[in-house]
Amino acid sequence: MKSSETQLYRKLLLALRAHLRGEIDLLVDIALDAVLDDVWPSSHRVCRSCRPAWQTGTARTMKRYIESLIDAKERMLILVEKALRLVDTGTYGVCRHCGAALPKKQLVDAPYRTSCVACDSQRSPGLDLDWTSFTNRKLFRG
């Protein structure tokens, strides 16, 4: 891979890292500032004796959902950090298993990719590292 291409992917990875860090920070802020008063049902929908159970269940559900979002973003951030280390060592864009050059389309779709599609499908059937699949999932819509 040419030096100019490597620098372009480095910039892309740095932008993606900054974006993910910002999303993680935002999700942590949301988790810390979550106010359940705004999501309580109106009094005619839930009886007074049921409200504490409803509040506890809602808080638990919100906490789990936000934690799952943070975990997913952190896993993706780890992949980006690994790819940046590969750029620094000069091995970015090369499959870590077979040593083949990764096609540019694969690197554009998933700039943190470290192995080719053939090796991924042999080692982890069903694994989808395409960036668009991460961003198009309902979990990541914001």
Q: What is the pLDDT of residue 14?
A: 95
pLDDT bucket at 118, cuts 50 / 70 / 90: confident
Q: What is the pLDDT of residues 37-91, one digit of tens each?
A: 445 545 456 566 666 666 666 767 777 888 888 999 999 999 999 999 999 999 9
Q: What is the pLDDT of residues 3-34, one digit of tens each?
A: 888 899 999 999 999 999 999 998 888 777 66
- Homologous superfamily in CATH for domain 3-140: DksA, coiled-coil domain (1.20.120.910)
Which residue matches tokens 């291409």? 5
pLDDT bucket at 137, cuts 50 / 70 / 90: very low
Would the pLDDT of 113 be above 80? Answer: yes
The model carries a pTM of 0.70
Query: Any idea what DSSP says for residue 42?
Result: P
Give the pair of three-digit tokens for residue 64: 């789990």
Q: What is the pLDDT of residue 67?
A: 85
Measured CA to CA, the distance from residue 97 to residue 34 in angstroms comes to 44
Residue 28 Cα distances to 22, 25, 40, 103, 111, angstroms: 10, 5, 22, 36, 25
The one-letter amino acid at 95: C
